[in-house]
Structure 1
């Protein structure tokens, strides 16, 4: 018995169709297949009538067993028709049509193809979030075959084909192919005929007209004008193909015999198209191999922040009695975790990357902080490979921008980690950052240039550097982990941000990536401080960095002296001391050949003065040199790159004794949720514990529930207006967060409709945020929880 046997269908002339059997019988007699599909990548069949399976020749059970109800598997023997079908569906949906019609062929079980007509309507119905379509399939095989036998496909004929009717002494042009129209350069059929009916051709027509009136074949040459107005010679071949009411109908083919260039051009086009097909096939095979390699290897994009997390965790455990060290490690773990989350989202949603569906999220971005974060993430890799690393700045006027901070960080880390991977030990990696004024008001152009002395790239690989899943094949790097996805993602993000990325590389010499990004300016100018006429000694073996620091200091009204070695710095300090003109501060790079920064500072302390402020500048981690630096008498640390704000804060704090950071700390928002009750609905015990601890730490009273059902019960039994906010997980056993939210909103109590409910889930894509809003939630925060963002969001509702 069919499972739909008791269904009824109204609307027939004789009353309702009482059974599914009668409905199916009517569809079969009409020769119509009816089916219901999901508009997913498989065009999955949800339901179909019996004639659907009779039409294709497979039974319902066979269709499910062999093709799993997936139309793409059914069409795998005929990919061209599947491509036509999917293209038609996509075009109809993109142009907001209600459906589509398509004449296509389908392959039956016996291997024979038949012609059918698809008529499809898109329904306002969704199954598991996917739209549904209803399709009728009509067998038109006989009609198509008859039309093919009776028609002449003019566009497939060689030369310029036309159909004429001979009526008396006149020729009436009835039809013509596209080449005929294109050759004569006009849409009007009479136009092409007039180009041939010239005075020069009059005698030729007079001689051949009697033959055509008798229905005999004709062959002659004539002179005509093409669309450019040039005179051309045509070979005319005509045959009578029909007689209608005593009038002969001719098919005439014109061939340009002015020269044989057209034949050569056709041959060239065929060869070019053949080569294009071969290249396309090779490219498809290469892409498939690359994706297979991706699935069998771990992405270096994921391993880079993961290594930082593991390494910083071990360091924190080893220094549990040192709160400052542990705090530094936790900060770096947090930064790496945030970056890792962004990468995982990209890797898991491959379709988003390949189709370019990646949205930007603009927020306030501080460039010095971003660079500090980037360096903290890649530093373990640079240290382990013993690579020389430097950052140089030029013309930096602004530091605060509005952009997608996560994506910018992702760009910088991807390129920098790539440079490290393919640069040998003791190799050099340099980042140059330059600000260029923009013609667009409120914007500036930031240029990031990454240069390394690595192995470089071969020319044949350079053309594919931005292809997804692509990696250089070389014995020296085959053991390097990586998916080949990082640079493809990087290029896509750069383009989304309105920028450009270029690459130059020489095999065995190195590579240079240049990223140019337009950034919206948030600060009109950096905070300015008044400085007394100080005298400062700067020591850095990098002459560019030394000159840049001097430029910054002189811009603050400070007299500066630059030397390029520790020995020179010591000599300058001693000389100044002898003349009673001690420097007010000494700034030295940590890594210098010969006498490094720490040794220089130690000797200045011993031989010059124990009171002069001395500062160390380095692109490496302060924690790495903190202990020996303090022992050498160093007063403070300035991280590279040395942004103007970094230098000003350092001088204020370590030289003048005024701490600009204290004002900033006072301005930072301190959240206090004392007196507020927050209900946390979360099934994961660890996540629940984290949320409770974080909220309790800022004074909130927290109640917890393990699933949606418990959350609804907890709220419904709470005193009226006692619950100030609900944090609701989405995916939970027993009852999910969407259902729980809807039930809470429907409760017959005054505060049910107004209590703020915030979605709290790992699903952080646009469709998830929309679903949360439709369920009645007020806002959405993604896991893992960003503590600052969570506090800020809660404060908006309390």
Structure 2
């Protein structure tokens, strides 16, 4: 048998798989196919199944499931037989249902799903096992069986095909005893079905449509006894397009009891039907949800892995690598948002959702969204525009993360349900501004498939999706709209929707925000160098022209605008002939008559090098940059155009220093500080160490809580701060923190200890504080937040 201490560390594939299982709340474990089925590793849900902690399990059973099953030899034999039979048959794994004993002695029903891997450790093949709790399902089946047996008369469930052939699926004990099991000659069940054939044919359409059926028939028992039966049948399910009928047969040979029996029958049949419908709907919803979540998680993961591959192929191209890293960052944030959807729904239901009131720049929110969505629009053949209407200030106070989540949910749906050649538009309009408050209206409209009014009434119900072929094809979690509605409500706003099948949908969200007191980044001072500029705007989107003109006007610049490339060339020609050349031309890349590159070439031929040409585009300009620069373009500006980006571009043209979009927070000076990093995961430890060293911090590392305690006891005076992971082997972060605080060593009670963990719920923050930690950082780590927290910790302000 392989010793546990000789087992290799978890591979990256193991880590990724375990992480996904942790997100889905599924027990997953890795075993050797030896005589003990030795446990190599398991996630936390495995130990929750057993009721033992990891430390208790290892101490008591030494990672040997055969010892765990010592008091349940029957269960161990079932498991052993399943493994042996699967291996002997050359299968890739097995699946069995079995009872599972927990620490308190209770048994629960579970499903073992095991896959044999092409991996060997010390000569033993490796297997991965997922445990699913099916105790509720088994209990439901037993309760259904009891209900069947408690109903008066005979109960049976039939499947009826298009030819009205009836297949018995189930029956209570009384039915099977009285009419037999269907085997042998002279089967009374077959004869009874033939007796009802004429009745069934008369009502064929109603039966195949699943409508309730009531009639009286004469039936023969297997002993030959004839009796009259009142038959009440209701469709309770469908199977491959065929109705499944639950039939209850009441013996009315003695008609004196008929009325009372019919009354009880109706009540119990309806109750059973409702219970079955509710249970089946819940099971379908959960199954569909897990399936959709798997798809949704893989989408940003594909972006992350794809951009990583591209970056590796262009290591010498710093700009390309930087662009890939930026997109990886956006996809990672999207993935985190997706993972948090499930947690958000739980928090909303429990009334624990908190809305932040923090300073943010709307420009950063919009740029984050467009960097994700413009490439998707281009790939899908959609026109995506983000017009800004009368938007003056972008430095706001509110919850940027939740705003981003609301807009991304709406835009993702618009993209999903709009076919190639369609358009998606997100208009941001400033409605009013007064007394330090501003109201914005976000309108997301598309030319997609639209919605029926009946579905719009259920649009904000969890797990609901329109029951159309397109809706089923596109998938989704079914949580986006309910979360969006709840977030908008929590932010004090309102959301409405208009839609028509085949003509698209329009979602409107109105939200109020406070304005930042130091909003200089969105209210630039006038510069004489800018006021002397003469600017021409060429864009086929009139809203963009008006918005850009308004921004220039607030800077003291009067601008002209035209809606076509040809008109731009003609306007430049006229100004040149009059000796009043434009200093700057802002030219859209994509216009219907001439594209921006061709317009640039023609303008450059007319006026030479003196006019600065800036190409404005919503799309990635890297593909056209060489061609555009060869045509004479000087610079590029991304849409949507914000005041700060336009201001900086024009300052650059005027030869002045550019201004930042807002007051940039300087990174705190942490050089020379010494930090003890406690982290058991190699990859996380490498990332954290690099982030700390980038700030000039000296780092010592510990792989678990016990090592951290030993290092602190040996040389605690050298550490300015301890970054403590929580979930670790040997000794977890809470235990290590308590041990350090109680050690009596100088500085033990004052050294700052910051939790750095993926346990990110409010109760985890409380637990960290109770253990003696000063603060809490949730993974994945935001570098700037890490530096700010470290600075506050060493300054004693945490």
State the TM-score bracket (shorter-chain normalisation). Answer: 0.5 to 0.7
CA distance in 1, matches of 2:535, 2:763: 57
Residues 1:496 and 2:490 are matched in the alignment: yes
Aligned to 1:254: none
CA distance in 1, matches of 2:533, 2:570: 19
Aligned to 1:210: none
Aligned to 2:657: 659
Residues 1:727 and 2:723 are matched in the alignment: yes
* Paired positions, count: 550
Q: Say if 1:681 and 1:707, in contact at 8 Å, map to a contact too.
A: yes
Residues 1:358 and 2:353 are matched in the alignment: yes
CA distance in 2, matches of 1:374, 1:279: 44
Shift of 1:679: 0.4
Aligned pairs for 1:218-257 (under 5 A) are none
Q: Say if 1:618 and 1:640, in contact at 8 Å, map to a contact too.
A: yes
Aligned pairs for 1:511-526 (under 5 A) are 511-523=505-517, 525=519, 526=522
Aligned to 1:463: 457
C-alpha deviations, 1:63-116, integer Å up to 9, x for none?
A: 94479999999997999xxxxxxxxxxxxxxxxxxxxxxxxxxx9xx99xxxxx
CA distance in 2, matches of 1:748, 1:66: 46
Aligned pairs for 1:622-633 (under 5 A) are 622-633=621-632
Aligned to 2:88: none
CA distance in 2, matches of 1:552, 1:617: 15
Aligned to 1:605: 604
CA distance in 2, matches of 1:73, 1:311: 41
CA distance in 2, matches of 1:282, 1:504: 32
Distance change (3 Å), C-alpha of 1:612 and 1:276: farther
Shift of 1:304: 4.9
Using the size of structure 2 for normalisation, the TM-score is: 0.64
Aligned to 2:767: 771
Aligned to 1:529: 525
Residues 1:789 and 2:785 are matched in the alignment: yes
Shift of 1:373: 0.3
Instruction: Identify the match of residue 291 of structure 1 among 262, 286, 301.
Output: 286
C-alpha deviations, 1:728-771, integer Å up to 9, x for none?
A: 00000111000000000011122000101110101111011111
C-alpha deviations, 1:464-519, integer Å up to 9, x for none?
A: 22221122233345332422221122112111111111111110110101111121
CA distance in 2, matches of 1:458, 1:277: 32
Q: Say if 2:388 and 2:543, in contact at 8 Å, map to a contact too.
A: no
Shift of 1:356: 4.9
Shift of 1:288: 4.8
Instruction: Identify the match of residue 695 of structure 1 among 686, 692, 697.
Output: 692
SS in structure 1 opposite 2:342? helix
Residues 1:748 and 2:747 are matched in the alignment: no
Q: Say if 2:644 and 2:660, in contact at 8 Å, map to a contact too.
A: no
C-alpha deviations, 1:121-157, integer Å up to 9, x for none?
A: xxxxxxxxxxxxxxxxxxxxxxxxxxxxxxxxxxxxx
Q: Say if 1:339 and 1:406, in contact at 8 Å, map to a contact too.
A: no
Residues 1:486 and 2:483 are matched in the alignment: no
Residues 1:397 and 2:392 are matched in the alignment: yes
SS in structure 1 opposite 2:531? coil
Q: Say if 2:494 and 2:509, in contact at 8 Å, map to a contact too.
A: yes
CA distance in 2, matches of 1:321, 1:727: 35
Q: Say if 1:300 and 1:483, in contact at 8 Å, map to a contact too.
A: no
Instruction: Identify the match of residue 711 of structure 1 among 704, 708, 713.
Output: 708
Gaps of 5+ in 1: 1-41, 45-59, 80-106, 112-273
SS in structure 2 opposite 1:721? helix
SS in structure 2 opposite 1:449? strand
Distance change (3 Å), C-alpha of 1:432 and 1:662: closer
Aligned pairs for 1:68-87 (under 5 A) are none
Q: Say if 2:589 and 2:596, in contact at 8 Å, map to a contact too.
A: yes
Shift of 1:276: 14
SS in structure 1 opposite 2:748? coil
Distance change (3 Å), C-alpha of 1:400 and 1:652: same
CA distance in 2, matches of 1:565, 1:284: 60
CA distance in 2, matches of 1:352, 1:663: 34
Instruction: Identify the match of residue 761 of structure 1 among 738, 747, 757.
Output: 757
Aligned to 1:426: 421
Aligned to 1:383: 378
Q: Say if 1:399 and 1:523, in contact at 8 Å, map to a contact too.
A: no
CA RMSD of superposed structures (Å): 3.6
Shift of 1:350: 5.3
CA distance in 1, matches of 2:105, 2:726: 36
CA distance in 1, matches of 2:135, 2:290: 26
Aligned to 1:550: 549
Shift of 1:624: 4.2
Shift of 1:566: 0.8
C-alpha deviations, 1:323-377, integer Å up to 9, x for none?
A: 1221122122123212322321332575335445322233321001110001112
SS in structure 2 opposite 1:735? coil
CA distance in 1, matches of 2:104, 2:704: 42
Aligned to 2:330: 335
Q: Say if 2:587 and 2:596, in contact at 8 Å, map to a contact too.
A: yes
CA distance in 2, matches of 1:760, 1:339: 21
SS in structure 1 opposite 2:735? helix
Distance change (3 Å), C-alpha of 1:696 and 1:619: same
C-alpha deviations, 1:186-240, integer Å up to 9, x for none?
A: xxxxxxxxxxxxxxxxxxxxxxxxxxxxxxxxxxxxxxxxxxxxxxxxxxxxxxx
Distance change (3 Å), C-alpha of 1:597 and 1:426: same
Mean alpha-carbon deviation: is it higher for 374-383 or for 526-535? 526-535
Shift of 1:386: 1.1
CA distance in 2, matches of 1:276, 1:567: 73
CA distance in 2, matches of 1:344, 1:285: 26
Shift of 1:397: 2.5
Aligned to 2:257: none
Q: Say if 2:414 and 2:448, in contact at 8 Å, map to a contact too.
A: yes
Distance change (3 Å), C-alpha of 1:576 and 1:78: same
C-alpha deviations, 1:604-648, integer Å up to 9, x for none?
A: 112322221111122223434433333332222222222222222
CA distance in 2, matches of 1:313, 1:571: 46
Shift of 1:597: 1.2
SS in structure 2 opposite 1:396? coil
Distance change (3 Å), C-alpha of 1:428 and 1:744: same
CA distance in 1, matches of 2:281, 2:349: 16
SS in structure 2 opposite 1:310? helix
Gaps of 5+ in 2: 1-48, 52-101, 111-132, 151-268
Q: Say if 1:401 and 1:523, in contact at 8 Å, map to a contact too.
A: no
Shift of 1:460: 2.0
Aligned to 2:566: 567
Aligned to 2:199: none
Shift of 1:774: 0.5
Q: Say if 1:332 and 1:373, in contact at 8 Å, map to a contact too.
A: no
Q: Which of the pair has more CA radius of gyration?
A: 1
Mean alpha-carbon deviation: is it higher for 676-685 or for 462-471? 462-471
Distance change (3 Å), C-alpha of 1:518 and 1:303: farther
